[in-house]
């Protein structure tokens, strides 16, 4: 679907499908992304979060992060160590860029990286909803 789709047509309908998905889905009742997925922690994220937690960057990295096979910093544990029992994020205001952008249903990443989109659709109801909407449009 994503490889064959008319990119311009998809990008035109994405904002409405994204908005519709988040009118129906409450992330706080799910938090599957935080339970099953680790964002990449890029240098600006590490600097910002370390400052918020009042930790040296090296201590933050040693405590919470590992390098993955792509050379990106990701959380050592799943669920995310910053996810509370109430599904709230303890660093929400300073969360990584990947978390802010997730699930990428309102941007061209949805088309440009179909493997990630399909993976995300297996645990994120919003991605599933948007893909269903694309199939039916």
**In the chain, where the domains are located:** 1-37+102-137, 38-96
pLDDT digits (tens, 9 = 90+) for 40-55: 999 999 999 999 999 9
Confidence of residue 29 (pLDDT cuts 50, 70, 90): very high
pLDDT over 90 (residue 4): no
Give the predicted TM-score (pTM) of the model: 0.85
What is the pLDDT, as a whole number, of residue 2?
Answer: 61
3-state SS string for the chain: CCCCCCHHHHHHHHHHHHHHHHHHCCHHHCCHHHHHCCCCECHHHHHHHHHHHCCCHHHHHHHHEEECCCCCEEECCCCCCCECCCCCECCHHHCCHHHHHCCCCCCCHHHHCHHHHHHHHCCCHHHHHHHHHHHHC
């Amino acid at each position: 679907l994503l490889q064959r789709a008319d990119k311009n047509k998809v990008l035109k309908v994405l904002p409405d499908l994204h908005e519709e998905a988040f009118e129906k889905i409450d992330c706080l009742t799910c938090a599957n992304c935080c339970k099953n997925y680790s964002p990449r922690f890029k240098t600006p994220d590490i600097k910002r979060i370390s400052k918020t937690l009042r930790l040296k960057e090296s201590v933050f990295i040693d405590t919470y992060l590992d390098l993955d096979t792509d050379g990106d910093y990701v959380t050592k544990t799943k669920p995310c160590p910053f996810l509370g029992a109430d599904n709230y994020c303890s660093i929400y205001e300073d969360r990584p860029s990947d978390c802010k952008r997730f699930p990428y249903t309102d941007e061209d990443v949805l088309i440009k990286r179909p493997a990630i989109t399909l993976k995300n659709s297996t645990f994120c109801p919003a991605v599933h909803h948007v893909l269903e909407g694309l199939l039916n449009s």
